[in-house]
Protein backbone atom coordinates (compact mmCIF):
# COMPACT_ATOMS: atom_id res chain seq x y z
CA UNK A 1 0.00 0.00 0.00
CA UNK A 2 3.05 2.27 0.14
CA UNK A 3 3.84 1.85 -3.56
CA UNK A 4 3.22 4.58 -6.16
CA UNK A 5 3.42 2.43 -9.31
CA UNK A 6 1.50 3.86 -12.24
CA UNK A 7 1.08 7.26 -10.57
CA UNK A 8 2.17 10.60 -12.06
CA UNK A 9 3.63 12.92 -9.42
CA UNK A 10 4.28 16.65 -9.92
CA UNK A 11 6.66 18.17 -7.37
CA UNK A 12 7.09 21.93 -7.75
CA UNK A 13 10.49 23.60 -7.31
CA UNK A 14 12.22 20.21 -7.28
CA UNK A 15 15.58 20.75 -9.02
CA UNK A 16 17.24 20.34 -5.63
CA UNK A 17 16.56 20.55 -1.90
CA UNK A 18 13.50 19.06 -0.24
CA UNK A 19 11.58 18.79 -3.50
CA UNK A 20 14.32 16.77 -5.15
CA UNK A 21 14.58 14.38 -2.18
CA UNK A 22 10.82 13.79 -2.15
CA UNK A 23 10.70 13.32 -5.94
CA UNK A 24 13.57 10.80 -5.77
CA UNK A 25 11.71 8.89 -3.07
CA UNK A 26 8.53 8.90 -5.14
CA UNK A 27 10.45 7.49 -8.13
CA UNK A 28 11.90 4.73 -5.93
CA UNK A 29 8.31 3.93 -4.89
CA UNK A 30 7.33 3.56 -8.56
CA UNK A 31 5.95 6.97 -9.51
CA UNK A 32 6.59 8.81 -12.77
CA UNK A 33 8.24 12.03 -11.57
CA UNK A 34 7.51 15.41 -13.11
CA UNK A 35 8.98 18.61 -11.71
CA UNK A 36 9.25 22.28 -12.52
CA UNK A 37 11.56 25.10 -11.70
CA UNK A 38 11.55 28.75 -12.44
CA UNK A 39 14.60 28.80 -14.74
CA UNK A 40 15.66 26.50 -17.64
CA UNK A 41 19.17 26.14 -16.21
CA UNK A 42 17.68 24.91 -12.93
CA UNK A 43 15.45 22.42 -14.76
CA UNK A 44 18.49 21.23 -16.73
CA UNK A 45 20.50 20.92 -13.49
CA UNK A 46 17.63 18.99 -11.98
CA UNK A 47 17.33 16.66 -14.98
CA UNK A 48 21.05 15.90 -14.71
CA UNK A 49 20.67 15.11 -11.01
CA UNK A 50 17.67 12.86 -11.60
CA UNK A 51 19.54 11.09 -14.43
CA UNK A 52 22.53 10.51 -12.16
CA UNK A 53 20.10 8.96 -9.66
CA UNK A 54 18.78 6.70 -12.42
CA UNK A 55 15.45 8.51 -12.60
CA UNK A 56 13.77 9.36 -15.93
CA UNK A 57 12.13 12.57 -14.72
CA UNK A 58 10.37 15.16 -16.87
CA UNK A 59 11.13 18.82 -16.18
CA UNK A 60 9.18 21.95 -17.09
CA UNK A 61 10.10 25.62 -16.77
CA UNK A 62 7.33 27.43 -14.94
CA UNK A 63 6.95 30.21 -12.39
CA UNK A 64 4.31 28.74 -10.07
CA UNK A 65 2.97 32.22 -9.26
CA UNK A 66 1.92 32.70 -12.91
CA UNK A 67 -1.56 31.19 -13.30
CA UNK A 68 -1.48 31.20 -17.11
CA UNK A 69 1.92 29.49 -17.14
CA UNK A 70 0.81 26.94 -14.52
CA UNK A 71 -2.35 26.05 -16.45
CA UNK A 72 -0.30 25.65 -19.63
CA UNK A 73 2.27 23.47 -17.81
CA UNK A 74 -0.43 21.20 -16.33
CA UNK A 75 -2.08 20.83 -19.75
CA UNK A 76 1.32 19.96 -21.26
CA UNK A 77 2.03 17.39 -18.54
CA UNK A 78 -1.40 15.80 -19.02
CA UNK A 79 -0.79 15.57 -22.77
CA UNK A 80 2.82 14.36 -22.58
CA UNK A 81 2.85 12.25 -19.39
CA UNK A 82 -0.66 11.77 -18.07
CA UNK A 83 -3.10 13.06 -15.48
CA UNK A 84 -1.38 14.22 -12.29
CA UNK A 85 -2.27 11.81 -9.47
CA UNK A 86 -0.02 13.37 -6.82
CA UNK A 87 0.85 17.06 -6.40
CA UNK A 88 3.47 18.29 -3.95
CA UNK A 89 3.38 22.07 -3.54
CA UNK A 90 7.03 22.41 -2.54
CA UNK A 91 8.33 25.53 -4.32
CA UNK A 92 8.93 28.25 -1.78
CA UNK A 93 10.97 31.27 -0.82
CA UNK A 94 11.76 33.06 2.42
CA UNK A 95 12.84 36.63 3.15
CA UNK A 96 14.40 37.17 6.58
CA UNK A 97 13.79 40.89 7.23
CA UNK A 98 12.57 42.62 10.42
CA UNK A 99 8.88 43.34 9.76
CA UNK A 100 9.19 47.08 10.27
CA UNK A 101 11.91 47.12 7.59
CA UNK A 102 10.11 44.81 5.13
CA UNK A 103 8.38 46.46 2.20
CA UNK A 104 4.84 45.51 1.24
CA UNK A 105 6.25 44.30 -2.08
CA UNK A 106 8.69 41.95 -0.31
CA UNK A 107 5.84 40.66 1.89
CA UNK A 108 3.66 40.07 -1.19
CA UNK A 109 6.47 38.21 -3.01
CA UNK A 110 6.68 35.64 -0.21
CA UNK A 111 2.88 35.27 0.04
CA UNK A 112 2.76 34.89 -3.74
CA UNK A 113 5.13 31.93 -3.91
CA UNK A 114 4.37 30.25 -0.57
CA UNK A 115 0.57 30.63 -0.46
CA UNK A 116 -0.92 31.93 -3.72
CA UNK A 117 1.06 29.45 -5.84
CA UNK A 118 -0.14 26.33 -3.95
CA UNK A 119 -3.69 27.62 -4.57
CA UNK A 120 -2.96 28.18 -8.28
CA UNK A 121 -1.30 24.79 -8.85
CA UNK A 122 -3.87 22.88 -6.76
CA UNK A 123 -6.70 24.58 -8.69
CA UNK A 124 -5.04 23.52 -11.96
CA UNK A 125 -4.77 19.82 -11.06
CA UNK A 126 -8.07 19.27 -9.17
CA UNK A 127 -10.38 19.10 -12.25
CA UNK A 128 -8.56 16.03 -13.62
CA UNK A 129 -8.42 14.49 -10.16
CA UNK A 130 -12.21 14.96 -9.93
CA UNK A 131 -12.65 13.24 -13.32
CA UNK A 132 -10.36 10.41 -12.21
CA UNK A 133 -12.12 10.07 -8.86
CA UNK A 134 -8.89 10.24 -6.86
CA UNK A 135 -6.00 12.53 -6.03
CA UNK A 136 -3.32 13.40 -3.49
CA UNK A 137 -2.20 16.94 -2.71
CA UNK A 138 0.67 17.50 -0.26
CA UNK A 139 1.52 21.04 0.83
CA UNK A 140 4.96 21.66 2.30
CA UNK A 141 4.19 23.70 5.39
CA UNK A 142 6.66 24.61 8.13
CA UNK A 143 7.39 25.08 11.83
CA UNK A 144 6.17 28.57 10.96
CA UNK A 145 2.73 27.13 10.29
CA UNK A 146 2.57 26.94 14.11
CA UNK A 147 5.30 29.20 15.49
CA UNK A 148 6.64 32.69 14.81
CA UNK A 149 10.10 34.11 15.10
CA UNK A 150 11.87 37.36 14.37
CA UNK A 151 12.30 38.44 10.71
CA UNK A 152 10.00 35.85 9.08
CA UNK A 153 6.59 37.59 9.28
CA UNK A 154 5.71 37.05 5.60
CA UNK A 155 6.86 33.44 5.61
CA UNK A 156 4.95 32.60 8.81
CA UNK A 157 1.81 34.28 7.47
CA UNK A 158 2.11 32.29 4.25
CA UNK A 159 2.82 28.95 5.92
CA UNK A 160 0.03 29.52 8.46
CA UNK A 161 -2.30 30.22 5.56
CA UNK A 162 -1.02 27.13 3.75
CA UNK A 163 -2.02 25.02 6.77
CA UNK A 164 -5.58 26.33 6.47
CA UNK A 165 -5.63 26.01 2.66
CA UNK A 166 -4.68 22.36 3.22
CA UNK A 167 -7.61 21.89 5.60
CA UNK A 168 -9.97 23.66 3.21
CA UNK A 169 -9.03 21.56 0.20
CA UNK A 170 -9.62 18.53 2.43
CA UNK A 171 -13.03 19.91 3.41
CA UNK A 172 -14.10 20.81 -0.13
CA UNK A 173 -12.85 17.73 -2.02
CA UNK A 174 -12.69 14.91 0.51
CA UNK A 175 -16.01 13.52 -0.75
CA UNK A 176 -14.41 13.06 -4.19
CA UNK A 177 -11.61 10.88 -2.82
CA UNK A 178 -9.04 13.68 -2.95
CA UNK A 179 -6.83 13.79 0.13
CA UNK A 180 -4.95 17.01 0.90
CA UNK A 181 -2.40 16.94 3.70
CA UNK A 182 0.62 18.95 4.75
CA UNK A 183 4.14 18.09 5.77
CA UNK A 184 5.66 20.44 8.33
CA UNK A 185 9.43 19.96 8.16
CA UNK A 186 11.58 21.03 11.08
CA UNK A 187 14.94 22.61 10.32
CA UNK A 188 16.38 20.91 7.24
CA UNK A 189 19.89 21.38 5.83
CA UNK A 190 19.20 22.81 2.36
CA UNK A 191 20.27 25.94 0.42
CA UNK A 192 17.28 27.77 1.95
CA UNK A 193 18.71 27.42 5.46
CA UNK A 194 22.38 27.63 4.51
CA UNK A 195 22.65 31.25 5.78
CA UNK A 196 21.57 30.00 9.23
CA UNK A 197 24.34 27.39 9.36
CA UNK A 198 27.34 29.36 8.08
CA UNK A 199 30.53 28.92 10.10
CA UNK A 200 31.43 32.22 11.74
CA UNK A 201 34.67 34.11 10.85
CA UNK A 202 36.22 32.88 14.10
CA UNK A 203 35.40 29.28 13.09
CA UNK A 204 32.54 28.97 15.59
CA UNK A 205 29.05 27.67 14.81
CA UNK A 206 26.42 30.18 13.65
CA UNK A 207 24.39 31.21 16.72
CA UNK A 208 21.20 30.06 14.97
CA UNK A 209 22.80 26.67 14.30
CA UNK A 210 23.42 26.22 18.05
CA UNK A 211 19.90 27.53 18.79
CA UNK A 212 18.18 25.01 16.53
CA UNK A 213 20.26 22.12 17.82
CA UNK A 214 19.14 23.09 21.33
CA UNK A 215 15.50 23.24 20.20
CA UNK A 216 15.60 19.84 18.47
CA UNK A 217 15.52 16.78 20.78
CA UNK A 218 17.95 14.94 18.48
CA UNK A 219 20.30 17.94 18.82
CA UNK A 220 20.89 18.24 15.08
CA UNK A 221 19.55 19.63 11.77
CA UNK A 222 17.43 17.18 9.80
CA UNK A 223 18.17 16.00 6.26
CA UNK A 224 15.84 16.25 3.24
CA UNK A 225 15.88 12.46 2.91
CA UNK A 226 14.15 12.21 6.31
CA UNK A 227 11.02 13.69 4.74
CA UNK A 228 10.75 10.95 2.09
CA UNK A 229 8.99 8.28 4.17
CA UNK A 230 6.29 10.67 5.41
CA UNK A 231 5.83 12.03 1.87
CA UNK A 232 5.50 8.56 0.32
CA UNK A 233 2.97 7.67 3.03
CA UNK A 234 0.85 10.75 2.27
CA UNK A 235 1.14 10.13 -1.49
CA UNK A 236 0.13 6.47 -1.26
CA UNK A 237 -3.14 4.62 -0.67
CA UNK A 238 -1.86 3.91 2.84
CA UNK A 239 -3.10 7.39 3.77
CA UNK A 240 -6.51 7.33 2.04
CA UNK A 241 -8.23 7.94 5.39
CA UNK A 242 -5.83 10.74 6.36
CA UNK A 243 -7.07 14.14 5.24
CA UNK A 244 -6.49 17.73 6.32
CA UNK A 245 -3.60 16.64 8.52
CA UNK A 246 -0.31 18.48 8.91
CA UNK A 247 2.33 15.82 9.56
CA UNK A 248 5.18 17.53 11.41
CA UNK A 249 8.51 15.94 10.58
CA UNK A 250 10.49 18.09 12.97
CA UNK A 251 12.46 15.69 15.15
CA UNK A 252 10.21 16.71 18.04
CA UNK A 253 10.79 20.48 18.00
CA UNK A 254 7.10 21.29 18.58
CA UNK A 255 7.05 18.98 21.61
CA UNK A 256 10.21 20.34 23.26
CA UNK A 257 10.87 23.45 25.34
CA UNK A 258 14.55 23.22 24.42
CA UNK A 259 17.77 22.02 26.02
CA UNK A 260 18.65 24.09 29.05
CA UNK A 261 21.96 25.96 28.70
CA UNK A 262 24.81 24.21 30.53
Which residues are known catalytic residues?
A: 155
| Closer Cβ to ligand GCO, 195 or 229, answer by number | 195
Q: What are phi and psi of 136, to 5 degrees?
A: -130, 125
Which contacts of 50-57 are long-range, i.e. CB under 8 A and separated by 24 or more positions?
50/20, 50/23, 50/24, 53/24, 53/27, 55/23, 55/24, 55/27, 57/23, 57/27, 57/33
Q: d(Cα 119, Cα 162) in Å, to the nearest integer?
A: 9
Q: Does 187 bind ligand NAP (CB under 6 A)?
A: yes
Closest distance of CB 167 from ligand NAP, Å:
18
92, 13 in Cβ contact below 8 A? yes
Q: d(Cα 225, Cα 222) in Å, to the nearest integer?
A: 8
Window of 2-10, 24-32, 50-58, 180-188 that interacts with ligand NAP by CB under 6 A: 180-188
Closest distance of CB 111 from ligand GCO, Å:
15
Q: Does 57 bind ligand NAP (CB under 6 A)?
A: no
Given ligand NAP, ligand GCO, none, residue 149, with its beta carbon under 5 to 8 Å by kind, binds: ligand GCO
| Residues engaged in binding ligand GCO (CB under 6 A) | 94, 96, 142-144, 149, 152, 155, 185-187, 192-193, 196
Q: Among 11, 17, 33, 125, which residue interacts with ligand NAP (rule: CB under 6 A)?
A: 17
| Closer Cβ to ligand GCO, 123 or 206, answer by number | 206
Window of 163-171, 184-192, 199-207, 240-248 that interacts with ligand NAP by CB under 6 A: 184-192
Q: CA-CA distances (angstroms) from residue 55 to 24, 34, 86, 178, 233?
A: 7, 11, 17, 27, 20
| Closer Cβ to ligand GCO, 48 or 106, answer by number | 106
Q: Which residues pair with 137 in a beta bridge?
A: 87, 180
Amino acid sequence: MFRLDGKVALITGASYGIGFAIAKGFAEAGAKVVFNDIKQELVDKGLEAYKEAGIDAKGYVCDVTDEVAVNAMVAKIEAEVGVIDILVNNAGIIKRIPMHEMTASEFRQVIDVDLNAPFIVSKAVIPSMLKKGAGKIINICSMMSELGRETVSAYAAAKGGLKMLTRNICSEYGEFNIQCNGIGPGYIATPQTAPLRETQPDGSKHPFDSFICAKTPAGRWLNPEELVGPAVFLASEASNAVNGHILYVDGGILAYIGKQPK
